[in-house]
C-alpha cells in the first residue's frame, strides 16, 4: 500500500520558486501570454503563478490525463478540452510534472493544429528520467528523481492533492 511519506519540497520553497518563475516569465513576454493549465495536477501551481503575473493575464484550463495510479497509461485523454480560440496567440502551457514527455508533446502538437502562436512550457517539477517523447520545458520549478510525489495539487488516484508541500509516496506494504 502506498501512502505519503517524507517532505521533498517545503511549502515555503515552492512559494519562493513560483515567485521567481513568475518574474522570469514576465521578463520574457512583452504582453502576457494565454496560460493553459493542465488539470487537475497543475491547479495549485497555476493559481499561485497567476497571482504573481499581471492582472490582465488570461488563462484557460483543460482536463488532460494519462496516469492511472503511479504509471502513465501511454494514452492522452482530454485534448478536445483545449479551446480553439488560441489561433495566433502566444500560449504558455502550465503543467505539474514533466515525466515521460508524452502529455506535453501531444498538447504542443494539438496547439500547433489549432494555429496557436509561440508555445512555451512551464512545469513545477521535471523528473530526471528517460523521456518517451522529446519535449523541453522552458521554465522549471524543481528537478527531482524518479520518485512518485503528491501534494500541492499532485495526486495519487485523486488523493493527497491538498498538502501544501510535496511529499514522496512510500510503500508501507
d(CA 28, CA 84): 25
Catalytic residue among 99, 143, 157, 165: 99
Residue with more model confidence, 60 or 80:
60
- For 139-159, what is the mean pLDDT? 96
Q: Is 99 a catalytic residue?
A: yes
- For 79-103, what is the mean pLDDT? 92
pTM of the model as a whole: 0.92
Place 24 in a pLDDT band, splitting at 50, 70 and 90.
very high
What is the residue-averaged pLDDT of the chain? 93
User: Residue 132 has what pLDDT?
Assistant: 86
Residue with more model confidence, 141 or 70:
141
Amino acid at each position: 500500500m502506498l501512502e505519503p511519506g517524507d517532505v521533498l519540497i517545503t511549502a515555503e520553497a515552492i512559494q519562493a520558486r513560483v515567485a521567481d518563475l513568475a518574474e522570469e516569465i514576465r521578463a520574457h513576454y512583452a504582453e502576457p501570454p494565454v496560460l493553459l493549465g493542465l488539470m487537475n495536477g497543475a491547479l495549485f501551481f497555476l493559481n499561485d503563478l497567476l497571482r504573481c503575473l499581471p492582472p490582465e493575464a488570461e488563462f484557460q484550463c483543460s482536463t488532460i490525463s494519462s496516469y492511472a495510479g503511479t504509471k502513465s497509461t501511454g494514452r492522452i485523454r482530454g485534448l478536445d478540452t483545449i479551446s480553439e480560440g488560441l489561433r495566433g496567440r502566444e500560449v504558455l502551457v502550465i503543467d505539474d510534472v514533466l515525466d515521460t514527455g508524452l502529455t506535453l508533446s501531444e498538447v504542443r502538437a494539438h496547439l500547433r493544429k489549432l494555429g496557436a502562436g509561440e508555445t512555451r512550457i512551464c512545469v513545477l517539477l521535471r523528473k530526471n528520467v528517460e523521456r518517451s517523447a522529446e519535449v523541453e520545458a522552458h521554465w522549471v520549478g524543481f528537478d527531482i528523481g524518479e520518485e512518485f510525489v503528491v501534494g500541492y495539487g499532485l495526486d495519487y488516484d485523486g488523493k493527497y492533492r491538498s498538502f501544501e508541500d510535496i511529499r514522496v509516496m512510500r510503500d508501507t506494504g
